[in-house]
Amino acid sequence: MATDANTEQLVLYRELGDHIALVTLNRPAKRNAVNAALASALEEIVRRTEADPEIFAVILTSSNNSVFCSGADLSAVAAGGGAGINTPDGGFAGFVNAKRRKPWIAAVEGQAVAGGFEICLACDLIVAADDARFGLPEVKRSLVAGAGGVHRLPKTAPRNIALEIIITGEPIPARRAYEVGLVNRIVPAAELLDAATALARLITANAPLAVCESLDAAKRSMSVSDEEGDQLARDAMTRVRATEDFIEGPRAFVEKRPPVWRGR
């Protein structure tokens, strides 16, 4: 696992049970600013969770209760060490363009700005503490939110709200983000991880391959016609029908017991 000079692990990994993994950005003194080492560590964890058949869902959070992630480490960029913050496979932070089939939940406390907000947008769901704030301040520095901000935010929030966030550079509080549908849950900060874990358990109670296929089809359908979306759904169902879990679901229902998902 990548470390800073003080030997702290930059990204922590823990399994919570119920097929849930907890991933924690852990560069608190630098507000979780993304440098090459953090990007490499996060990319490796994405690969690890994708490859682990026992992990059905992942929660991404921060060890710093005042900031989720402040974006790119501009001091590293200015010093010429910023090339690694974008990886060939994962893009910014080794994450925003990573090929992921399993659902990720961002659990956000404090500031999620610039690339930090873009990491949230790359996740599938967001749970926010009531003190969280989300923003894309890039235009204030003559930059473009090119790690997903300008193209993902308008697909997630209402058009005018998304455009206001993008072109003013001003952040919005968690309550407003929840009201416009950008955030799935808003809770007191002390309840953040519990709320994210409860949401993850709702996911992991389901057949994992059906979840992955449904998530993939839903995301791909956002940019295609109804006819193409229908085909994506039918193709996903064909693949699910070929799994052992497709037999287990109806069998468990008939036998009046909880299903035992194998992920195969």
Active site (catalytic) residues: 118, 138
The encoded tokens of residue 194 equal 């519990």
Q: Can you state the angle between helices 226-241 and 244-254, rounded to 10 degrees?
A: 80
DSSP H stretches of helix in the chain: 36-51, 74-78, 115-122, 149-156, 159-168, 174-179, 192-204, 208-221, 226-241, 244-254
Q: Report how far Cα 120 is from the mean position of its chain's Cα atoms.
A: 5
DSSP state of 97: T
DSSP H stretches of helix in 123-170: 149-156, 159-168
Torsion of CA 215, 217, 218, 219, to 10 degrees: 80
